[in-house]
Chain A
Amino acid sequence: EVQLVESGGGLVKPGGSLRLSCAASGFTFSYYNMNWVRQAPGKGLEWVSSISSSGSSIYYADSVKGRFTISRDNAKNSLYFQMNSLRAEDTAVYYCARELGDCGGGSCSSAEYFQHWGQGTLVSVSS
């Protein structure tokens, strides 16, 4: 069974930092592109960042570019999100999400849809 478990959320002051983690199990983590998607309280979904299976390709939404850094450790089956210079508008539940399809076995059939999601971790930015 695919499991994604986020951790590291909490209350932080504006300008502060947090590091989110996502522990993956039940699948070959190194075969899959991974993403962070967030949802502000009572609002819709917002994609924030993607990282390819090898970590060689990384993308960010403009709203977080230059402040947040996505990374992964395939040996530890873990995804990370370093969040610096946090703002009130970054307050949200952050989900890690695995893409549909995989990039294993020498070929890539990944599609940028989110097939599996974690339960989310809440980040609150407030003074």
Chain B
Amino acid sequence: EIVLTQSPATLSLSPGDRATLSCRASQSIRSYLAWYQQRPGQAPRLLIYDASNRATGIPARFSGSGSGTDFTLTISTLEPEDFAVYYCQQRSNWPPLTFGGGTKVEMK
């Protein structure tokens, strides 16, 4: 089973700041990684797939990069609605499909 480790667990930032979130895989997953955003009380929303492709309707301030074992989600300028929990997910080697433990982006 591929384990995804996200860091940091919590990121305390202000609106307008740049956010950099990390996801590390226990073995190479090539570029088969997605990022999701989950706001409180809501279902997750797909942001990025195949490491760097924005999903339909996702603003350009969200970008993804990386391949192999190290991946990054960057939010260039935080908007108030971006304060949420972010998860990475791999589909390289499954079952099982696996998620990281999440990074909470909170307002400082």
Return chain B residues, CB-CB under 8 Å to A119: 43
Taking CB atoms, residues of chain B closer than 8 Å to A83 are: none
Q: Does B66 contact A (CB under 8 A)?
A: no
- A27 interfacial contact with B, CB 8 Å: no
| Given known A45-B44, A117-B43, contact A111–B50 (CB-CB < 8 A) | yes
A44 to B87, CA, bound (A): 8
A: number of interface residues (CB 8 Å): 21
The stretch of A7-15, A55-63, A73-81 that contacts the partner chain: A55-63
Contacts of A60 in B (CB 8 A): 95
A8, chain B: closest CB distance, angstroms: 17
A44 vs B99: C-alpha distance when bound (angstroms): 8
Whether the Cβ atoms of A115 and B99 lie closer than 8 Å is: no
Query: Is A114 a contact of B50 with CB atoms below 8 Å?
Result: no
Asked whether A62 lies within 8 Å of B55 as measured between CB atoms, the reply is: no
- Is the CB–CB distance between B36 and A114 below 8 Å? yes
B99/A47 in contact, CB under 8 A:
yes
- Determine whether the beta carbon of B87 is less than 8 Å from that of A117: no
Once bound together, how far apart are the Cα atoms of A62 and B36, in whole Å?
23
1/0 per position for B92-108, CB-CB distance to A under 8 A? 00111111111000000
**Interface-centre pick from B49, B100, B101 (highest chain A CB count, 10 A):** B49
Q: Is the CB of B44 within 8 A of A114?
A: yes
Within 8 A of A (CB), among B56-106: 56, 87, 89, 91, 94-102
At the interface, yes or no: B46 with Cβ under 8 Å from chain A?
Answer: yes
> Is there contact, CB below 8 Å, between A47 and B98?
yes
Q: A60 CA to B97 CA in the complex, in Å?
A: 10
Q: State how many angstroms separate the Cβ of A1 from the closest Cβ of chain B.
A: 12
**Which residues of B sit under 8 angstroms from A62, Cβ to Cβ?**
96
Contact yes or no, B91 A111, CB < 8 A: yes
Contacts of B95 in A (CB 8 A): 47, 50, 59-61
Residues of A within 8 A of B (CB): 35, 44-47, 50, 59-62, 95, 100, 111-115, 117-120
Q: What are 13 of the A-B contact pairs (CB < 8 Å)?
A: A44-B99, A44-B100, A45-B99, A47-B95, A47-B99, A59-B95, A100-B49, A100-B55, A113-B46, A113-B89, A114-B89, A117-B43, A119-B43
